[in-house]
Structure 1
Amino acid sequence: MMSKRIKQVRRSIEQRKKVRGIQTNGIAQQQMFSPFVQEEEKHGYSPIYDDSGSSSTMKSKVVSNFLLKAILSVLLFLSIAILWQINLPQLEEPKAWLTNALTEEFPFAKVNAWYQETFGSPLALLPGSDSAVESKDKQAMPVNGSVSESFQMNGTGIKITPEGKTAVTALKQGVVIFAGNDQKTKQTIIVQHPDDSQTTYGFLSNIDVHLYQHVSANQVIGQFNPSKENKSVYFSIEMDNQYIDPVQVIQVDDVE
């Protein structure tokens, strides 16, 4: 009985091989698969599975993930742009957080300087960079005038009093990381420089640059017109989170 049973199993295996297109010498001609293990497969026959489709599936998943990330990046960029155009009190806090994230964590000026040294021109993605040419002139104060409040008196910067209406210029090349109204210094511009320093120009009458614009040394960035409320321009230099006395860096007139 056992011998007869074994013969029946062998005949069944041969028949299955013929149905599946597999010759008795073991050379595969055509593969048909069954998701369930049959009784005779326990006695020496194992189906051969082809995973050629799995690699293409993985590639498809990688491409899909890349496209999804690209779409999300574009949506994020558009959302930020729209957020910046909307002037609502409840959006001031998100704007402040975003400004801090973009200015404090990303060195725009340093990246732009590297790009300019490598490719010979300012980074085209930065607004105004195509017309900004770095000046080799000696560093000068943002306005011509006398220092009416020293660094020792002010604690963070100095105040310069010009004789009349004047243009305000950037100390050296960099990227504008703030251009707007500050609680302490009113209309203010902050420029980030490639050496990780930043300069602040406050109490301006007009602002002639915009956020993330590339500026060159001695480029006009704003205007100042003395008034009864304010007769001086605020100017400060900050390096490594510490304020530096501008008078120690640039030669200026004595304090009145």
Structure 2
Amino acid sequence: MSKGIKKVRQSIEQRKKARGVPYSGSSKKQFTPPILQEEEKHGYAPVISDSGMTRERQNRMVSGFMLKGILSVLLFLGVALLWQMDSPRLQSSKEWTSNVLTEEFPFAKVNVWYQDTFGSPLAFVPEESKQQAEVAAMPVNGSVAESFQTNGTGIRIAPEGQTEVTALQEGIVIFAGNDRETNKTIVVQHPDSSKTTYGYLSNIDVHLYQHVSGNQKIGQFTPNEESDTVFFSIEKDNNYIDPVQVIKVDDVQ
């Protein structure tokens, strides 16, 4: 084969290489574009399972639970150790710890402090519930069927028929559900640290930690064979107060 023919063939092969066209005798494999799935055509990448990433995420979760468990144990041991020590310097710490573990959190009082400090209610308080001073009234219209002196903790009010149950004053609902003694019951905590309880209700229209305003409807009562009265009590500083002495008797119809 003449040198001229070889040069021509070499020139053709070089031009084919430049254009990416395979030529005879080439050792390179042809590139075949992948077939797109239907999801990929619309811009959704296929889900690729990565056992390594899943295992790492599980390890982080286990580590988090273990850390919380260790901190809980340390907190328990710290409180136990605090109560075992008789140093007078730790007396105030013991009293504070005892109050934190036994007393209810003052949601209503904190809400009032927050409004006074920052000028707006907390997130769980709706904007329209900024209150003006309201006249306290009995939660239902009716006559007192059982006095505080007879009951010892509250009074029983007998409405004439189906009626709405309203909150005595502004506060935060700290209980809304079934009570062993008073069945369907609502307990509202007020800014002055007092609590009012409304028992033997037919329906409950509020939920736990809901902010309520004075005279706002919180439930409903319909007399029936099992109960024809609503239980109502006022508690402050772990002592029950006669509602008739707090609310004007004229408000009870």
Instruction: Give the aligned residue type for 2:114.
Output: Y
**Match of residue 227 from structure 1:** 224
Query: Is 1:150–1:255's contact at 8 Å kept on the other side of the alignment?
Result: no
**Match of residue 42 from structure 2:** none
**Match of residue 134 from structure 2:** 137
**Match of residue 178 from structure 2:** 181
**Aligned ranges for residues 53-92 of structure 1 at < 5 Å?**
none
Question: Are positions 1:241 and 2:223 aligned together?
Answer: no
Write the distance in 2 (CA, Å) between the matches of 1:103 and 1:225: 36
Matched position secondary structure for 2:112:
helix
* Alpha-carbon shift at residue 132 of structure 1 (Å): 2.4
Q: Point out where structure 2 has 5 or more consecutive residues left out of the alignment.
A: 1-63, 73-99
Query: Is 2:134–2:169's contact at 8 Å kept on the other side of the alignment?
Result: no
TM-score by length of 1: 0.57
Residues 209-243 of structure 1 show CA distances to partners (whole Å, capped at 9, x for unaligned) of 00001111111100011111111100000000000
Relative to structure 1, the CA distance from residue 192 to residue 102 in structure 2 (aligned partners, 3 Å threshold; closer, same or farther) is farther
**Match of residue 115 from structure 2:** 116
Residues 192-216 of structure 1 show CA distances to partners (whole Å, capped at 9, x for unaligned) of 1111100000000000000001111
**Match of residue 104 from structure 2:** 105
Q: Count the aligned residue pairs.
A: 159
Relative to structure 1, the CA distance from residue 243 to residue 188 in structure 2 (aligned partners, 3 Å threshold; closer, same or farther) is same
Matched position secondary structure for 2:177:
strand
Instruction: Give the aligned residue type for 2:110.
Output: V
Relative to structure 1, the CA distance from residue 103 to residue 130 in structure 2 (aligned partners, 3 Å threshold; closer, same or farther) is farther
**Match of residue 155 from structure 1:** 152
Instruction: Give the aligned residue type for 2:192.
Output: D
Instruction: Give the aligned residue type for 2:107.
Output: F
Instruction: Give the aligned residue type for 1:207.
Output: I
Write the distance in 1 (CA, Å) between the matches of 2:162 and 2:174: 25
- Percent of pairs with identical residues: 68
Relative to structure 1, the CA distance from residue 251 to residue 103 in structure 2 (aligned partners, 3 Å threshold; closer, same or farther) is farther
* Alpha-carbon shift at residue 154 of structure 1 (Å): 0.4
Q: Point out where structure 1 has 5 or more consecutive residues left out of the alignment.
A: 1-67, 77-100
Query: Is 1:146–1:255's contact at 8 Å kept on the other side of the alignment?
Result: yes
TM-score by length of 2: 0.58
Query: Is 2:137–2:251's contact at 8 Å kept on the other side of the alignment?
Result: no
Matched position secondary structure for 1:217:
coil
* Alpha-carbon shift at residue 129 of structure 1 (Å): 3.1
**Match of residue 10 from structure 2:** none
Write the distance in 2 (CA, Å) between the matches of 1:144 and 1:106: 31
* Alpha-carbon shift at residue 106 of structure 1 (Å): 1.3
Write the distance in 1 (CA, Å) between the matches of 2:171 and 2:107: 8
Write the distance in 1 (CA, Å) between the matches of 2:153 and 2:199: 12
Instruction: Give the aligned residue type for 2:146.
Output: E
* Alpha-carbon shift at residue 163 of structure 1 (Å): 0.9
